[in-house]
Amino acid sequence: MNPRITSIENLIASDPAGRNIFGLVITDQLRLAAQSLRLGRRVGIVSGFYIPQAGDGETDGPPGAKALGDALHALGIEVDYITDHWCAPLFRALDIEPLIEPHDYVTRANPTHLVSVERPGRGRDGRYRNMRGIDISATTFPLDDLFLEATRNGLTTIGVGDGGNEIGMGKVFAEALSTIDHGADIASTVATDFCITAGVSNWGAYGLSGALSVLSGRDLLPTADGCMKDIDRVVRIGGAVDGVTHRHEPTVDGLDLSVSIRMLENIRRQIIPSPLERGESLLVGVLGYGETGRSASALLTKQGHRVRISDIAGVTLESGLVVDGVETGGHTIDFLQGCDLVVASPGVREDSSIRDELHRRAIPVMSELELAFQLAPRDLIAVTGTIGKRTTVELLRTLFASAGRQLTIGGNRGLPLSALLLDSEWDVGCRMSDIPHPTSDIRHPTSLIALAVSSFQLETVVHFRPHIAILLNINEAHLDRHRSIAEYIRIKSRIFMNHRPDDILILPFDDERLRTLSRKHHGRTFFVSHRQAVDRGAWLADGAIYTNIDGTVERLGDAASSGAYPYPENLLSAVIAARLCGLPINHSV
Ligand code: CA
């Protein structure tokens, strides 16, 4: 596995329409598909989804196909674009002359790979259907035949889809059948060797280009400008419509263009080094001078960077803080233009116009958590979950204190990480590249930080890598904001995205949705359960807490007082984390 590509795989599964996309993601397919493509000689890319009600093809598909084709071209791989006569105008709008309905393509062109980007795949009854369950067979040329033939001939096939009814999604047929709307009718039976599920199919293609970028060490993604122009051209010149709204607008699946640009730039953050890795003094924009903005500004200047502060309200600078400039009364791109990066306070929404402007200009935007971690990467314990983050972090501090050790705590609704780092006496100047490969033990046993981390903070992490990550629980109560449980779990799992083999993840065994995340984890996973013994982790039995870290079962004494905890898994998670930090816990907890 490759953490950068796993992180991209997670990002592109962002699920704006609540289609249970993350539930259809097969771990590591993006990396395997990109590795295979990189060895390709000639690749046929099939795309185009015709909307009969609108009389045109949709905006999702061809722009992504072109982005992928451009990336493959840059790697010296020959590319053919393939579609049917209904969708050909979209390709021509992109200055591409596609092969139209080439039934003998596989034998004639002898490609090494076939890739589908948002192209209907036949259902169980052999018919093609859109996501509303409407039969579109009369206006869909059976290009999936090429994939069936390619599979028979031993070619490598890749399918990118976002609904379950596309070529490739036959690989997750059972999941699509049971979780997507009209699944029984529309679920595609056409499987490919590799199946990439994304919130929007274009994003899946950007994700493949991003994975190829990671593997080749080059940025092969389209520019934000180029991406916008392509989507605009398929609408204006190619007559494309949005596949959801059926309107002739440069939107994709009902989403504003800025959402796709944000996705593209977030993928790019995963493949290019952070400006903070340059090891030179940077000009950093600070959006919002509230609690996180203040501590971020102070930490940045302490490390020799210059800051430019922009706030909607008035700004009273901390005494002694020297800044490059202050803007009040709103955020403007003119003020922030020229910054090497911008740190945004939680109050500045992801979809705010200033962030869109920054994305368009490819100025990296990061959260205070990500910034603080990159400024001073160190071993952290991070706790997330719907219920009990804060109390678990406090419990950890108590466990540390009773063993005579200090634990500094903060995070969500507590002190931000940059404030904790400011208060510490530790050297905060080390860069990520200076950090030696972590050992199985915590490196700074006396100077640890534990943070409660919210979903909101995790949504935008890039390099954040807590040595011990604890995912306590998930609760349906948060569905309003995150739209689906699958999407909520996707965001929560970003807490361990960057884990290396020696990093640790603690999961609740009794929740199958979370237990199975261990398959997506690169490091060591420990489980907690209040129902049964687990292979590695902590559990409750006979009124006692048991742990097993390295094959030896330990009984940690009477757990009578654990009855006071409504969420025993949270207590067990704290105990196992403390044990992993080397704390002796042989007394009653
Ligand atoms: Ca789509």
Residues in the chain, overall count: 589
As residues whose CB is below 5 A from the ion ligand 1, the structure lists: 60, 162, 201, 253
Residue at which a domain ends, from 271, 301, 317: 271
Asked, for residue 375, whether it belongs to a domain, the answer is no
Strands 283-287 and 78-83: unpaired
Domains: count for the chain: 3
Q: Please, which residues bridge with residue 539 across strands?
A: 529, 546
- The rounded Å distance from CA 162 to ligand 1 centre is 6
Q: What is the sign, positive or negative, of the torsion defined by CA atoms of 195, 198, 200, 202?
A: negative
Asked, for residue 536, whether it belongs to a domain, the answer is yes
Exposed e or buried b per residue across 565-585, where buried means at least 16 C-beta atoms within 10 angstroms of its C-beta? bebbbbbbbbbbbbbbbebeb
Q: Give dist(CA 412, CA 462) in Å, integer.
A: 18
- The rounded Å distance from CA 351 to ligand 1 centre is 20
- The rounded Å distance from CA 268 to ligand 1 centre is 21
Cβ atoms within 10 Å of 501's Cβ, excluding its own? 11
Does 262 lie in the same domain as 187?
A: yes
Does 538 lie in the same domain as 503?
A: yes
Which pLDDT belongs to residue 290? 94
Does 264 lie in the same domain as 284?
A: no
Which pLDDT belongs to residue 191? 97
- The rounded Å distance from CA 216 to ligand 1 centre is 28
Q: Give dist(CA 534, CA 548) in Å, integer.
A: 8
Q: Are 526 and 576 in contact (CB under 8 A)?
A: yes
Asked, for residue 561, whether it belongs to a domain, the answer is yes
Q: Are 568 and 574 in contact (CB under 8 A)?
A: no
- The rounded Å distance from CA 60 to ligand 1 centre is 5
Q: Are 4 and 270 in contact (CB under 8 A)?
A: yes
- The rounded Å distance from CA 163 to ligand 1 centre is 7
CA 315 to chain CA centroid, nearest Å: 34
Enumerate residues 6+ apart whose C-beta is below 8 A from 193: 33, 36, 151, 156, 157, 158
Does 223 lie in the same domain as 321?
A: no
Asked, for residue 73, whether it belongs to a domain, the answer is yes
Task: State if pTM tops 0.85.
Answer: yes
Does 176 lie in the same domain as 39?
A: yes
- To the nearest 10°, report the CA torsion of 159, 164, 165, 169: 30
Angle between the N-to-C axes of helices 29-38 and 3-12, in degrees from 0 to 180, rounded to the nearest 10: 110
Q: Give dist(CA 47, CA 96) in Å, integer.
A: 12
Among residues 116, 83, 104, the alpha carbon closest in space to that of 192 is found at 116
Which pLDDT belongs to residue 560? 57
For the chain (length 589 residues), average pLDDT per consecutive 10?
93 89 93 98 98 96 98 98 98 98 96 98 96 95 97 96 96 91 93 97 98 97 97 97 95 95 95 92 97 95 96 91 94 96 91 93 94 91 95 94 92 91 60 35 61 92 95 81 80 94 96 94 95 95 91 80 72 95 70
Can you give the C-alpha Rg of the chain in angstroms? Answer: 25
Q: Give the single-character DSSP code of 255.
A: B
Could you tell me the CATH number of the domain that includes residue 414? 3.40.1190.10
Q: Give dist(CA 565, CA 561) in Å, integer.
A: 8
| Model pLDDT for residues 54-88, shown as the tens digit of each residue | 999 999 999 999 999 999 999 999 999 999 999 99
Among residues 367, 324, 318, the alpha carbon closest in space to that of 345 is found at 367
Domain that holds residue 391: 380-580
Among residues 253, 246, 164, 168, the alpha carbon closest in space to that of 202 is found at 253
Q: Give dist(CA 493, CA 7) in Å, integer.
A: 10
- The rounded Å distance from CA 252 to ligand 1 centre is 7
Which pLDDT belongs to residue 481? 58
Strands 553-558 and 544-548: antiparallel
The SS3 of residue 73 is: helix
Q: Give dist(CA 65, CA 437) in Å, integer.
A: 38
Which pLDDT belongs to residue 158? 98
Which pLDDT belongs to residue 90? 98
Asked, for residue 454, whether it belongs to a domain, the answer is yes
Does 48 lie in the same domain as 81?
A: yes
CA 286 to chain CA centroid, nearest Å: 24
Which pLDDT belongs to residue 562? 54
Q: Give dist(CA 166, CA 49) in Å, integer.
A: 9
- Going from the C-alpha of 9 to that of each of 435, 441, 463, the distances in angstroms are 26, 29, 15
Asked, for residue 370, whether it belongs to a domain, the answer is no
Q: Are 446 and 455 in contact (CB under 8 A)?
A: no
- The rounded Å distance from CA 255 to ligand 1 centre is 10
Q: Are 413 and 438 in contact (CB under 8 A)?
A: no
Q: Give dist(CA 381, CA 448) in Å, integer.
A: 8
CA distance between the termini of the chain = 38
Enumerate residues 6+ apart whose C-beta is below 8 A from 254: 17, 242, 244, 245
- The rounded Å distance from CA 482 to ligand 1 centre is 19
- The rounded Å distance from CA 118 to ligand 1 centre is 6
- The rounded Å distance from CA 496 to ligand 1 centre is 28
Does 190 lie in the same domain as 131?
A: yes
- The rounded Å distance from CA 253 to ligand 1 centre is 5
Alpha helices in 272-367 (DSSP H): 291-302, 333-336, 353-360
- The rounded Å distance from CA 370 to ligand 1 centre is 31
- The rounded Å distance from CA 548 to ligand 1 centre is 46
Does 284 lie in the same domain as 264?
A: no
Among residues 552, 550, 584, 589, the alpha carbon closest in space to that of 570 is found at 589
Token pair in block for residue 181:
């709307």
Residue at which a domain ends, from 310, 336, 363: 363
Residue at which a domain ends, from 226, 247, 271: 271
Does 171 lie in the same domain as 54?
A: yes
Does 177 lie in the same domain as 59?
A: yes
Q: Give dist(CA 353, CA 5) in Å, integer.
A: 28
Could you tell me the CATH number of the domain that includes residue 163? 3.90.1640.20
Q: Give dist(CA 492, CA 328) in Å, integer.
A: 34
Asked, for residue 368, whether it belongs to a domain, the answer is no
At residue 544, φ and ψ (nearest 5 deg) are -135, 160
Could you tell me the CATH number of the domain that includes residue 357? 3.40.50.720
Q: Give dist(CA 466, CA 377) in Å, integer.
A: 9
- The rounded Å distance from CA 146 to ligand 1 centre is 21
Does 85 lie in the same domain as 15?
A: yes
Q: Of all helices (H) and strands (E), which one includes residue 451?
A: strand 448-452
Does 121 lie in the same domain as 171?
A: yes
Token pair in block for residue 19:
């289609």
Asked, for residue 515, whether it belongs to a domain, the answer is yes
